[in-house]
Amino acid sequence: MTFVQIVDYETSRPEAVNEVIDRYLAETKGKRTVAHTVVGKDRESDTRYVDVVEFPSYEAAMKNSHLPETDRMFQEMMALCDGMPRFTNLDVVRDEHLNALLANRMYEEVAMKGDLSVIDEIFAADYRDHDISRPEDKIGRDGIREDVQMWRAAFDFTFTRDAQMAQEDYVTTMWTFNGKHKGEFMGIAPTGKDCTMTGTTVFRCEDGMIKEGWWHYDAMRLMRELGAM
C-alpha cells in the first residue's frame, strides 16, 4: 500500500531549504526509497510550505527514515524552520489519475468491447491522431472511429496494459495486442492465425478529453506473423 507523508512547515529561508534537499538527493542516490515528492507554497503566506513525500509502502518509508542522510537532512531543515514542522502520515486508500481513466476507457470500452459511442465521451471533437503507419495525421473523432472499426473487423483481440504512467496532461501506456486474424487486413485475407504485437501509445488530455494521440507499434512483427513478410 502506498504511503504518503505530509510535512507542513514555516521558513523564511526557502532557498537554503532547497539546497538541503538537493544535497540530500545527491547523497542518497541508490539508497533512498522515496518515489515522488511535491513541494507547495501557500499562496496566502510567504513563509508556509508543504512537502508531500510518497513511498511505495510504509515499510519503505521506515527504511528511508533510518538512513543517516535522512536524519542529517531533518536536523538541517529543523535549523531553517520557524518552529516545529507538522507531520501527517497517510496510507493511500484511493489513487486515481483521471486522465489515465480516460485512456483506459479507450482500450477497454472502445477497442475491446467495440462501444463506439464512448468515442464522443472521451475524445475531443478536434482530436489529432498520429500513427506510425500513416504519413498524415487524422483529425476528428471519425478518424479514431474508422481505425477501431478496421481493427475490430480484422481481429478478435485484447489489449494488455503492461505499464502506464500519467504525468501532467500526458498518459503513456505500454501495451501488448493479442488477436486472431478473422477478416481482411491491409489486403491480407483472413488466416485464422493468433498474432501478437507490442506498442506504446501517448495520449495528451485537455479539459477532460483526449486531445491528441501518438501510436507506435511493431507493425513489422504483425505482418511477419500474418505471413506477409
Note the pLDDT tens digit of each residue in 88-115: 999 999 888 999 999 999 999 999 999 9
- What CA–CA distance (Å, rounded) separates 25 from 51? 15
- What CA–CA distance (Å, rounded) separates 131 from 35? 33
CB atoms within 10 A of CB 100: 18
Model confidence at 229: pLDDT above 80: no
Residue 219 near residue 196, CB atoms below 8 Å: no
Topology of domain 3-91, per CATH? Alpha-Beta Plaits (3.30.70)
Render pLDDT for 27-76 as a digit per residue (tens, 0 to 9). 999 999 999 999 999 999 999 999 999 999 999 999 999 999 999 999 99
Domains 3-91 and 98-225 share a fold: no
pLDDT at 79: 94
Query: What share of the chain has pLDDT > 90, as a percent?
Result: 90
**pLDDT tier, 155 (very low <50, low <70, confident <90, very high otherwise):** very high
pLDDT at 228: 76
The ranges assigned to domains in the chain are 3-91, 98-225
- The maximal CA–CA distance of the chain, rounded, in angstroms, is 74
The residue among 186, 111, 176, 182 whose CA lies nearest residue 149 is: 111
Mean pLDDT of 172-188: 94
Q: What is the mean pLDDT of the chain?
A: 94
pTM given for the model: 0.80
For the chain, first and last CA: distance in Å? 47
Q: Three-class SS of residue 69?
A: helix
Mean pLDDT of 163-187: 94
Beta-strand ranges (E) seen in the chain are 3-10, 36-41, 48-55, 86-91, 123-131, 138-139, 155-167, 170-181, 194-206, 209-217
CATH 3.10.450.50 holds for 98-225: yes
